[in-house]
Structure 1
Amino acid sequence: MSGQEKALKTLAVVGCGVIGNGWAARALAAGLDVRAWDPDPAAGERLYAAIDTAWPALQRRGLAEGASRDRLHFTTDLEQALEGADLVQENAPERLELKQTLLARLDAELPTSVPIGSSTSGIKPGELRAKCQRAPQRVLVAHPFNPVYLLPLVELVGGEQGADAALQKAETCYRQLGMRPLRVRREIEGHIADRLMEALWREALHLVNDGVATTEEVDAAVVYGAGLRWSLMGTFLTFHLAGGEGGMRHMLEQFGPALQLPWTRLQAPELTPELIERVAEGCEFQAAGRPVAELEARRDRFLTELLAVVERYWPEAEGLEGRI
């Protein structure tokens, strides 16, 4: 391995909720040491249980040399958790003031060469680093997707004050974790992927609220239709193919005017008690009495197999980095 590939040996996980635990599992599977911190002593037990739950899927995916659950250390002492860290991943609840205070403390205590990634799903990096004084440019958005230990996308946002060197170093670290970093060109609430998911989520709620479809029918429309194409081509290339030999230019000429039709709604519907009940009952019907743990295990088996297929078609396999 080159020196660059050895850049990441120890990951410090700050905050051990669902996302933090997912980061810990991914790092352990990548053969790293993980030092995890949470102010709640009971979080340690939940962390170890989460690792045990994720491990079978990670074994199916393939563990790196030296990967072991024994390389995990949990502590309620933040300074202890940060010792020797090459990368710090912050996963505190999505409350701006809480994150600002915690990130300022991390910035003050860590060597300036250590990147600090925040798992925030919507807060901009400029807001996150507002209280950081020592090396604020190394505080970045590093937004993953659940389950973190399987899904490879991580959105990296440096913002106007983010240093290119810090972004590059962070990107190298996340690639060593088996992630696929996506640099977001400019700061925006919700980054890229969550904004796309929220648009679909709002429309899905309208369809259920208006009695057009049940939750099961909406999910079926995604699973057996667009979702299958999206897992390979995403949105734009899917529509490019819809234009036939003329590609996207012809598609926009033919179907572009339909964008002006009032098919979709941009505003979310009011979450009335009736809508909440309808959505909750629909999901419970789909779950068919299966506990969440069983559904998660089913999801992980599916994602493990699906990722094996997707990776055979990833651009890197053909040497076309950044192209599909």
Structure 2
Amino acid sequence: MRSFFLIVLHLLVVFPVHSVEAFELEKPVCIAPAKPGGGHDIMCRLLTSALGEALQVDVSIRYMPGGIGALAYNYAASTRQKDANTVVAASTGTALNIALHKFGKYTENDVRWLGAVGTDYGVIAVRSDASWQTLDELIADLRQHPETFIMGAAGSIGSQDWMKMALILDEAGIDPQAIRYISFEGGGAASDALKKDQIQVFPGDFTEVVQQQEAGELRVLAVLAEDRLPGEYGDIPTAREQGYDVVWKVWRGFYLPPRITNAEYSWWVNTFFRLEATGVLARERQKMHLFPLMMIGDEFDLYVKNSVRQLHDFGNKFGLTQ
């Protein structure tokens, strides 16, 4: 009984009534800054399901490819800067693009960071009928015939997908710039290109390839996690255990326009805490093959801004920063 009252007290503190009632959603839109099928699409679908279940609110999804997030960032920071009904999906890649100045004049200070609600991991994927069974076999071929390979992923050279493979190649003593690279507007488009044999290697994210792997269309040679993934995905080896000390952990979350009111921002923060406390987000994460993570509000804002500074160093490593 005592634990029940502690939970009630916690909910009253975390979800103050005046903050929750200070704002009411009107035709909310989740912007996925890429084409359908990638990680941003996954996050908007997660939010749509979560708010639909918890609040009986219909959230529409708007796909806004362009500059791998630049168009959506510009749209939120300028066109919709006071619209609290607009929420935009984001990830570690968003912070990296900011660090590399890919969003033009806009910086990490030009939006309001809402929260990260799931963890994803980088992967190195190939077609299921490819000859390579291990990451070592792929690297050996890349070392001998780099000019015959085409790698493709979301974003231009310097994007987080490109960076994943670049770090592995760097460890192997191969110049990442020697590998031909095709840029796609999102991981969904890149994984489709891999299935169609338009590219040979896709350094993407686990959530973007898990269904294709289960369907026997793609093969994941390595997951860029500290340890093997739990449960049914435990048979996928890590890059680290194959001799390449590369870990790429991806936070997935959202940001809001910069000039919404503090009451509107608090409504979103409190709502996310409530979705987590009631188990709604946990169920939606599981459906989307994401792993637990919860950083909301000020904690997340500080984390993103620190991450931008750290990711700038990755760019320096490959001569990508200005």
Max Rg structure: 1
- For the criterion TM > 0.5, the same-fold answer is no
TM-score normalised by L of structure 2? 0.30
Q: Select the structure that is richer in helix.
A: 1
Q: Select the structure that is richer in strand.
A: 2
Relative contact order, higher structure (CA 8 A, sep 6+)? 2
